[in-house]
Amino acid sequence: MLSSVNHADAAPIQAGVFASLPANMATIMHPNVHARGGLPPRALRRVREYIAAHLEENISIQGLARIVGLSMYHFARAFKQSEGVTPHHFLLRCRVRRAQELLADTELPLAEIALAVGFSDQSHCARRFREFVGVTPSRYRWSMR
């Protein structure tokens, strides 16, 4: 009977179960388990701040790697280990979030918003926006009114 199990006795069992899982699965299943490696917190903060400050620019993985003094390949692996997504995916997510803010708070046309957040054109912005948010930018703007 599960209700009669002493929770103190369950800790060693849980530890054994998590030890047998791959490292990334253990982190998903038990968020207090930290993966080794990744970017140091200060380096990760510098990258995030750089992305936020230069969102409208063409941001390359080489440029981000230079910020933290790593090779492009080492940076990409460490960033993904720290954030759970690739640098490119993280950048797209930041751009879409900023587009959401502009759609909700301004009356700027989508073409201007797309350029302001770093997308090459309105079509690319709309495609990525729908991929991340689940609705088109115009429908999102309408729902925020």
Tens-place pLDDT, residues 67-119 = 999 999 999 999 999 999 999 999 999 999 999 999 999 999 999 999 999 99
- For residue 128, give the H/E element and its range: helix 122-133
Distance CA 28, CA 41 (A): 20
Model pLDDT, residue 35: 53
The answer to whether the pTM exceeds 0.95 is: no
The answer to whether residues 61 and 27 belong to one domain is no
**Domain match, 46 and 32 both:** no
- Average pLDDT for residues 11-39, to the nearest whole number? 49
Kindly state the average pLDDT of the residues 57-63. 96
Task: Over range 6-21, report the average pLDDT.
Answer: 45
Residue by residue, DSSP assigns 90-127 as: HHHHHHHHHHHHHHHH----HHHHHHHTT-SSHHHHHH
Average pLDDT over residues 7-21: 45
In the prediction, which pLDDT does 70 show? Answer: 96
105/60 same-domain check: yes
pLDDT at 52: 96
Q: Say how many domains are in the chain.
A: 2
Amino acid at 141: R
**Which domain covers residue 9, as residue numbers?**
1-36
**pLDDT at residue 14, as a whole number:** 45
Same domain, 4 and 60: no
Helix (H, G, I), strand (E, B) or coil at 15: helix
Cα separations (Å) of 3 from 79, 82, 98? Answer: 42, 38, 48
Specify whether 93 is located in the same domain as 124: yes
Q: What is the pLDDT of residue 145?
A: 83
For the ranges 18-22, 33-37, 120-124, the maximum mean pLDDT occurs at 120-124
Same domain for 20 and 57, yes or no, is no
Q: How many Cβ atoms from other residues are within 10 Å of residue 95's Cβ?
A: 24
Looking at the fold, whether 80 and 112 belong to one and the same domain comes out as: yes
- The answer to whether residue 37 scores a pLDDT higher than 50 is yes
